Amino acid sequence: MTVRDIIAEGLIINGVTDQEYINEKVYEILEMVGLVREHADRYPHEFSGGQRQRIGIARAVIMQPEMIIADEPISALDVSIQAQVINLLNDLKDRLGLTILFIAHDLSVVKYFSDRIGVMYFGKMVELADSDELFKNPLHPYTRSLLSAIPLPDPIYEKKRTRVSYNPLADHDYSEDGPTFREITPGHFVYCNDEEEKKYKQLVNANNESEG
């Protein structure tokens, strides 16, 4: 399939038959994602990885969705290309009013891109908060473990950086009081039991007092 066929496929499946309209929409979307009209008649193997990712984004955006699920959209790209794709998604999010569910393991990128972050452990949400709040007050031990693993381009810091390990059996005692998803502070939810909830609230208060 040509790039034109790939991007237009969603329109055709939804019953659009006007070829002139299809072509104009394809050209419009190509330019929106940073490509040019001449790319429409080429094939995917003629493009770089970053360009192919732009084609994939164009294929989704042409359907005018309210929400896009972006599952590891930059994992196979060079760092410089990752930045270009992230900035493109940010631009489209603002320009088209999109909601993007961004799934990734690179926490630095997640913080840069996301308004709210949900941390999952074995398929279960263990913490949910605004991006700045999550990095400022990580409460669940798995979240703290993840954040401790983020490397920084500072050799002095890296020599001293200590990883926080997460052991569910050691970090939680749910034998008598099971956990539920609870709001610790407005908009900041953690999967915990009564004892942990009390501890987390005290931790947030202590952090806020130390900053004040």
Domain boundaries, the chain: 3-110, 115-211
Please tell me the predicted confidence (pLDDT) of residue 212. Answer: 62
Neighbouring C-alpha atoms within 13 Å toward the C-beta of 161 = 15
Tell me what percent of the residues of the chain surpass a pLDDT of 70. 100
State the DSSP string of 83-136.
HHHHHHHHHHHHHHT-EEEEE-S-HHHHHHH-SEEEEEETTEEEEEEEHHHHHH
pLDDT (mean) for 170-184? 95
Please tell me the predicted confidence (pLDDT) of residue 195. Answer: 95
Q: Other CB atoms closer than 10 Å to residue 149's CB: what's the count?
A: 13
pLDDT (mean) for 201-211? 85
Helix axes 49-61, 19-32, angle to 10 degrees: 130
pTM, two decimals, is 0.84
Beta-bridge partners for 125: 120
DSSP state of 190: E
Whole-angstrom distance, CA of residue 58 vs CA of residue 88: 11
Taking a C-beta distance cutoff of 8 angstroms, is the pair 6, 44 a contact? Answer: yes
Residue 153 pLDDT class (50, 70, 90 cuts): confident
Residue 182 pLDDT class (50, 70, 90 cuts): very high
Whole-angstrom distance, CA of residue 6 vs CA of residue 25: 13
Minimum mean pLDDT range among 1-10, 11-20, 154-163: 154-163
Res 3 pLDDT > 80: yes
Q: Which sign does the torsion angle of CA 45, 53, 39, 66 carry? A: positive
Virtual CA dihedral for 189, 194, 197, 203, nearest 10 degrees? Answer: -170
Q: Which sign does the torsion angle of CA 169, 173, 179, 183 carry? A: negative
pLDDT (mean) for 160-184? 93
Please tell me the predicted confidence (pLDDT) of residue 211. Answer: 73
Contacts of 153 (CB under 8 A, 6+ apart): none
User: May I ask the CATH class of domain 3-110?
Assistant: alpha beta
Whole-angstrom distance, CA of residue 184 vs CA of residue 203: 10
Res 162 pLDDT > 90: no
Helix axes 79-96, 49-61, angle to 10 degrees: 20
What is the per-residue pLDDT across 36-79, written as a single tens digit (0 to 9) for each? 999 999 999 999 989 999 999 999 999 999 999 999 998 888 88
Minimum mean pLDDT range among 34-43, 92-101, 103-112: 103-112
Whole-angstrom distance, CA of residue 3 vs CA of residue 64: 18
